[in-house]
Amino acid sequence: MTDPEADLRRRWELEGFEAALSGRAAATRRAYGSDVAAFAEWAGRAQVSSPAQVERLLLRRYLAYLATRRFARATVARKAAALRAYFAWCRRRGLVELDPARGLSSPKAAGRLPRVLSEREVDRLLQLPPAPPERLEQAVVCRDLAVLELLYAAGLRVAELCGLDRAGLDLPGRTVTVLGKGSKERRVPIHDRAAAAIERWLTEGWAVLATPTSPAEAVFLNRAGRRLGPRDVRRILDRRSAVPTHPHALRHSFATHLLDEGADLRVVQELLGHASLQTTQVYTHVSKERLVAVYRRTHPRA
């Protein structure tokens, strides 16, 4: 008896497509593979069983269908990007004569400005709490401070922090080397307090949380001794922050505070690992809004 899912993946050559995405982040590969498989399943209901049968009108109908199902605009935009990548690959492989997804438009994600912590909020977040009596909890407190110090010191994405290996640390040189989006490596400077917090965690806390199966190369571990994950980082913020704070807020705050103090936009772009300066420019709008807010709050005639 034929497995319908396996048959669908064979007819649409999804294994080959996913293998061609090897240069992209693991999360992107998974999402794009899932997105194209979902489209192929939907297209099958319209008696379309291979990429060669897909026309542009069908793709536009699919995006409209997603919109009626109340998918977030950002999700629809990602699915459209997955289809563009897939059919461009099909065209290169000769699976389609013309690329039906070329220039396929998708709704733009809502332009929400990131939440930025004030310097006072960051200071409170990075205050070392009283040491708990239990050795395990002392190690957790030590790790949490190192995680937060590094997120703010280097403006790392959470995935970059979680994937950080010991080989990427140069504490005497005050730098960390991380693997960013698109498997692009970048080296970022850190300050003395962040380096000291990381060194203390590695010398006093790491071994306490480690188990025989812990990855020796991982800089940060969770309570189970496994590599720290994004959900673990979120829990750290939930414990330490007085108000709901997403881990990405520290990256936003890092960029905005640098710009507030006069850092060049292109320098901030390099530090954040943005491929496009346009992505970094959102922080100039945030910074201007902060300046206007301060002006209105402090000027005698405002």
Tell me the domains of the chain and their CATH numbers.
4-93 (1.10.150), 119-297 (1.10.443.10)
Q: Which of 227, 251, 252, 257 is catalytic?
A: 251
Residue 184 annotated among the catalytic residues of the structure: no
pTM for the full predicted model: 0.62
For 24-58, give one letter per residue: b (16+ CB within 10 A) or e. bbeebbebbbebbbebbeebbeeebebbeebeeee
Q: Which of 62, 86, 152, 283 is catalytic?
A: 283
Residue 296 annotated among the catalytic residues of the structure: no
Residue 257 annotated among the catalytic residues of the structure: no
Q: Which of 157, 227, 240, 252 is catalytic?
A: 157
Residue 248 annotated among the catalytic residues of the structure: yes
Residue 285 annotated among the catalytic residues of the structure: no
Residues 6+ positions from 85 with CB-CB distance below 8 Å: 21, 32
Distance, CA of 246 to CA of 248 (rounded, Å):
5
User: What are the pLDDT tens digits along the chain (302 aa)?
Assistant: 568 889 999 999 999 999 999 888 888 999 999 999 999 999 999 999 999 999 999 999 999 889 888 888 888 999 999 999 999 999 999 999 999 999 898 765 555 555 789 899 999 999 988 888 899 999 999 999 999 999 999 999 999 999 999 999 999 999 999 988 878 899 999 999 999 999 999 999 999 999 999 999 999 999 999 999 999 999 999 888 877 788 889 999 999 899 888 888 889 899 999 887 777 777 766 666 666 666 677 767 76
Q: Which of 11, 235, 248, 290 is catalytic?
A: 248
Residue 32 annotated among the catalytic residues of the structure: no
Q: Which of 91, 174, 181, 235 is catalytic?
A: 181
